[in-house]
A = this chain, B = another copy of it.
């Protein structure tokens, strides 16, 4: 007998919502239910997501608890701050996956310092591969009914550096991460610096100097992975591509550690992961090799002259960085195969 899971998507006309729908449309166990939006309510989906042909004639209704009720799963792809109230009205049996930031942080003070509003609470964190003590975060996701999907930049930095943190071969007290990021991470907001004319042929940093909201989430993850002390310098740089994050993360080589210990830490961390892959030595990840796939590609090297470990992690911000993480977490929460509806084959070149 085949049980079909009915999934509603709130924020279906945005980039994150569209990517969730793309994955769900190919998921063998899913039936897509209500599609909701705010300013685009009343339109057909095909007007806003012309690339999703099988759903082009589906209508968008106003986002509301009523519209989302009666589904097995609700995916929220809403602006920050909007998910708490809606989730409160959805039954405890409904699996709610929040692609926004609202429920990611455990520390209310961090939330308030970086987001400037009241903390909505903390949900199980949807990064199955996160190293938590001796185990992985996926255990906390089995059977969960609320999941906070991680931030896309956070995922790239965390997956890049956590093996070294967990194994104690790097010093997490001086992490420096600089990310080349594509424009889709900024969503469909109409802001001048997101115009094509500004983006084409340019590289543009933003949120420099410790102000980016993803910083406390990275710190939280590295503490979970075992870091006694964490400090992260984090700089994202917009580059002219639609999708993709390439995170270059470095940390001092820990006293007593060497290149072989580093290699061993990374190999061991990801040997059994279906979606995180340490590349053969000497081959460095590119974002192109992850487009549309749920993969994070990782490489690591020791720079002896500088005394630092350098790791690079590439992923598709809309897949492993958002929608793929949501589907992977959904699979775990519902007891489906973790890889259902997800692929490791990217659309390249």
Binding site for B on A (CB under 8 A): 15, 18, 22, 25-26, 46-47, 49-54, 174, 176, 178, 180, 182-184, 186, 188, 190-192, 194-206, 208-210, 215, 231-235, 237, 239-244, 246, 248, 250, 252, 277, 279-280, 283-293, 295, 297, 299, 301-308, 310, 312, 314, 343-349
- Determine the chain B residues whose CB is within 8 A of the CB of A190 once the complex forms: 190-192, 195
Task: Give the top 6 A-B pairs by smallest Cβ distance, nearest first.
Answer: A209-B301, A210-B303, A202-B288, A196-B199, A178-B178, A51-B346
- Determine the chain B residues whose CB is within 8 A of the CB of A302 once the complex forms: 209
Q: Which residue of the partner chain B has the closest CB to A232? A: B306
- Determine the chain B residues whose CB is within 8 A of the CB of A199 once the complex forms: 196, 199-200
- Determine the chain B residues whose CB is within 8 A of the CB of A210 once the complex forms: 301, 303-306, 310
- Determine the chain B residues whose CB is within 8 A of the CB of A244 once the complex forms: 201-203
- Determine the chain B residues whose CB is within 8 A of the CB of A237 once the complex forms: 180, 246, 248
Q: How many copies does the complex hold?
A: 4
- Determine the chain B residues whose CB is within 8 A of the CB of A303 once the complex forms: 209-210, 233
Taking a contact as CB atoms under 8 Å apart, the answer to whether A26 and B345 are in contact is: yes
With contact pairs A176-B250, A231-B305 given, residues A203 and B239 touching in the complex (Cβ less than 8 Å) = yes
Q: Which residue of the partner chain B has the closest CB to A177? A: B178
Taking a contact as CB atoms under 8 Å apart, the answer to whether A204 and B240 are in contact is: no
Taking a contact as CB atoms under 8 Å apart, the answer to whether B284 and A345 are in contact is: no
Distance of A180 from chain B, by nearest CB (Å) = 4
Distance of A306 from chain B, by nearest CB (Å) = 4
New A-B pairs, 19, CB < 8 Å, besides A50-B348, A208-B284: A18-B348, A51-B289, A52-B345, A54-B345, A178-B178, A180-B239, A188-B192, A188-B195, A194-B197, A195-B196, A196-B200, A200-B200, A200-B242, A203-B241, A203-B287, A204-B284, A208-B312, A240-B240, A242-B288
